[in-house]
Amino acid sequence: KNQVEQSPQSLIILEGKNCTLQCNYTVSPFSNLRWYKQDTGRGPVSLTIMTFSENTKSNGRYTATLDADTKQSSLHITASQLSDSASYICVVSASGGGADGLTFGKGTHLIIQP
Amino acid sequence: GAVVSQHPSRVICKSGTSVKIECRSLDFQATTMFWYRQFPKQSLMLMATSNEGSKATYEQGVEKDKFLINHASLTLSTLTVTSAHPEDSSFYICSANPWGPISREQFFGPGTRLTVL
C-alpha cells in the first residue's frame, strides 16, 4: 500500500529561525514528489516538484531534498516569517505521474511565533 | 497563470438538502478536473475524476449517486452533494491543470467549507 508519512505532526518556532520538515514514503513505482503549502481554509499551493534524478530544488527560502534510495525527502525553510505559518503537505506521485496516482501525507502544521 | 477558483467558499445547509459546488479554471481549459475531500488535520482524499463530456470516475468507497459530478465545459466542473448529512461536513477542494491528466503539476482551488446542520 502506498503511504506518505510526515514528521513532525506540528512544529512551533520563532520568527527568523530555520526549520526542516520530513517526509518518508513507500510509493511505487515512484514518479515525482511534491511539497505544497496549505494556509488554513485554503487550497494547497505548490512549492516544489522533484523527479527521481533531482536531489535538491529551491524556491526562495524553501529548499527541498530528495533521496530516492532511502525514500526520504525534506523541506527546509530558512529565516522563517510569520506568513510561513501553514500546513506543509508532501505528495508522492506513482505510475504515470498524473493526479489520480497521488498519495498525500497528512501534513506538518507549522506555527511561526513573533 | 493556471488559476483555479471555487464557489462558494463556505456553505451552511440543513440536513437533507443538496449543495452545489463549482470549480472553474480561469485562464486555461481543463479536460480533466479532480475533486478532493479533506477532514480536519487529515490528508486530501481523492473523491473522483471529472471528465469533460463524459462520466466521472469515482474512487472506491465514494457514492456516485450522492456526489454528483458534471463537467459541462472545459472550464467548469460542479460537485453536487445530494441529501447532505452532518457527516458530509468537510473541506472540498478541486484541482486541474492546463496540460491534461498526466501532468506532474496540479493547481488547486481555494476550497469550499461545507457545514451540514
Query: Could you give the C-alpha distances from B40 to A42, B92, B113, in angstroms and in order?
Result: 12, 11, 11
* Residue numbers in A near B34 (CB within 8 A): 99-100
Q: Tell me the DSSP string of A99-112.
A: GGGEEE---EEEEE
Q: What number of C-beta contacts closer than 8 Å exist between A and B?
A: 64
> What value, to the nearest 5°, has the Cα angle with vertex B99 and ends B91 and B6?
25
Residue A85 grid coordinates: 505559518
pLDDT at A109: 96
* Residue numbers in A near B107 (CB within 8 A): 46
Average pLDDT, chain B: 91
Predicted confidence (pLDDT) per residue in B2-35, tens digit: 899 999 999 999 999 999 999 999 988 888 899 9
Q: End-to-end CA distance of chain B: give it in Å, rounded.
A: 37
Predicted confidence (pLDDT) per residue in A57-85, tens digit: 999 999 999 999 999 999 999 999 999 99
On whether any CB of chain B is under 8 Å from the CB of A41, the answer is yes
On whether any CB of chain B is under 8 Å from the CB of A36, the answer is yes
> pLDDT higher for B50 or B92?
B92
Residue B93 has, within 13 A of its CA and on its CB side, a CA count of: 23
How far does B25 lie from chain A, in Å, by closest CA? 14
Predicted confidence (pLDDT) per residue in A1-33, tens digit: 889 999 999 999 999 999 999 999 998 888 889
Residues B44, A49: C-beta atoms closer than 8 Å: no
- Is the pLDDT confidence value at B48 over 70? yes
Residues A41, B6: C-beta atoms closer than 8 Å: no
